[in-house]
């Protein structure tokens, strides 16, 4: 099963693999041509046509449509660990759905003020806890992450825990710089840690220490002196996705020049790979060396990896560039790719 969404409508699909078959040669005509049997007589060796498998195809059938749950554009979907409910978020609201019910939805977060001029932040993404169905987190444009416990109340106007990114200075670009585009819980036994991705960095948080991130990994720090250029060419508004491995020991995010980075949870090792049709160019190096290398190279802001995903149980990742989809699978200590 697969959940998808466009701007305001969510669909549940059933994905299956089916075998396409074709009819084999009609033996009736072959026998008549070979033995010259008249049309009005019956052939003693007449056989019925048979179906022969040709290929397997993947098919998707729409099973349910969840509409009328959002006024604003949906920015994220997240399946709850009970496999019966899921979350959907738009700019101002987060809804809780049951996969079996299409005409009923529970609104659990509402940031819309009575006067829209008082609106100070919007929701950028939400993520269900991978172990506890009562917990989920959402991020805002102010760089805040809020952990919600649905057992406390029906409408959550205040979070159970609030995680704010410390800011050294506020300027014209502050809100865009702190905008969190992705949040993922690490998939271990307790899932007490999660990672967030803003434009310049990946931050690792612990729910037991909400005051500040326990680790910050620089991704685009070398671009900070070029803020004005990034704003003018709208690259500063790029929202790079972040995904974690099945074990929670590594996480993956994209960058420019069609390069993506795989970091270990300690933030000490950065495996940078260029997605291309040729053999993958991979470099396993420290984060500091990678940053220095990127700083002195030409950056093509049109070649960027925004979307990526990690297989839920295997060391297989999917990378989307502008016009290609790359699949990388770990084989021992090496990687293979396919387009």
> Tens digit of pLDDT for each residue in 179-217?
898 999 987 766 788 999 999 999 999 888 888 898 888
Contacts of 199 (CB under 8 A, 6+ apart): 176, 177, 179, 181, 220, 236, 238, 240
Residue with tokens 């660990």, as numbered in its chain: 81
Instruction: Read off φ and ψ for residue 111, nearest 5 degrees.
Output: -100, 0
Retrieve residue 247's tokens: 């074990």
Q: Which of 6-10, 39-43, 245-249 shows the lowest mean pLDDT across its residues?
A: 39-43
End-to-end CA distance of the chain: give it in Å, rounded: 24
Higher pLDDT among residues 164 and 100, named by residue:
100
Cα torsion 207, 209, 212, 215: sign: negative
The owner of tokens 């978020």 is: 89
Burial class (CB in 10 A: 0-12, 13-18, 19+), 72: middle
State the pLDDT confidence band at 287, using cuts at 50, 70 and 90: very low
pLDDT at position 52, please?
80
Residue 118 tokens read as: 């008082």
Specify the range with the lowest mean pLDDT, choosing from 186-200, 274-288, 297-311: 274-288
pTM, full prediction: 0.78
Confidence of residue 137 (pLDDT cuts 50, 70, 90): very high
Q: Which tens digits make up the pLDDT trace of 2-32?
A: 888 988 899 999 888 888 878 776 555 554 5
């Amino acid at each position: 099963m697969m959940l998808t969404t466009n701007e305001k409508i969510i669909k549940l699909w059933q994905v299956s693999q089916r075998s396409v078959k074709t009819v084999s040669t009609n033996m009736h005509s072959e026998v008549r041509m070979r033995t010259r049997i008249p049309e009005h007589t019956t052939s003693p060796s007449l056989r019925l046509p048979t179906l022969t498998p040709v290929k397997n195809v993947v098919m998707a059938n729409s099973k349910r449509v969840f509409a009328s749950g959002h006024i604003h554009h949906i920015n994220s979907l997240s399946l709850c660990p009970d496999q019966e409910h899921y979350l959907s978020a738009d700019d101002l609201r987060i809804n809780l759905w049951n996969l079996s019910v299409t005409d009923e939805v529970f609104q659990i977060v509402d940031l819309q003020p009575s006067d829209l001029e008082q609106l100070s932040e919007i929701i950028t993404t939400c993520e269900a806890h991978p172990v506890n169905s009562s917990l989920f987190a959402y991020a805002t444009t102010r760089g805040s992450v809020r952990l919600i416990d649905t057992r406390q109340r029906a409408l959550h106007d205040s979070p159970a825990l609030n995680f704010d990114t410390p800011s050294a200075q506020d300027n014209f670009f502050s809100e865009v710089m702190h905008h969190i585009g992705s949040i993922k819980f690490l998939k271990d036994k307790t899932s007490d840690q999660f990672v967030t991705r803003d434009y310049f960095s990946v931050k690792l948080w612990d729910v037991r220490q909400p005051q500040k991130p326990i680790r910050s990994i620089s991704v685009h720090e070398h671009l900070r002196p070029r803020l004005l250029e990034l704003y003018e060419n709208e690259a500063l508004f790029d929202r790079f996705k972040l995904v974690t491995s099945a074990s929670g020991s590594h996480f993956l995010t994209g960058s420019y020049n069609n390069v993506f980075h795989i970091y270990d949870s300690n933030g000490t090792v950065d495996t940078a790979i260029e997605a291309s049709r040729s053999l993958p160019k991979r470099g396993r190096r420290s984060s500091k060396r990678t940053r220095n290398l990127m700083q002195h190279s030409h950056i093509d802001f049109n070649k960027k990896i925004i979307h990526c995903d990690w297989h839920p149980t295997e060391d297989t990742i999917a990378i989307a560039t502008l016009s290609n989809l790359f699949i990388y699978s770990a084989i021992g200590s090496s990687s293979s790719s396919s387009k």
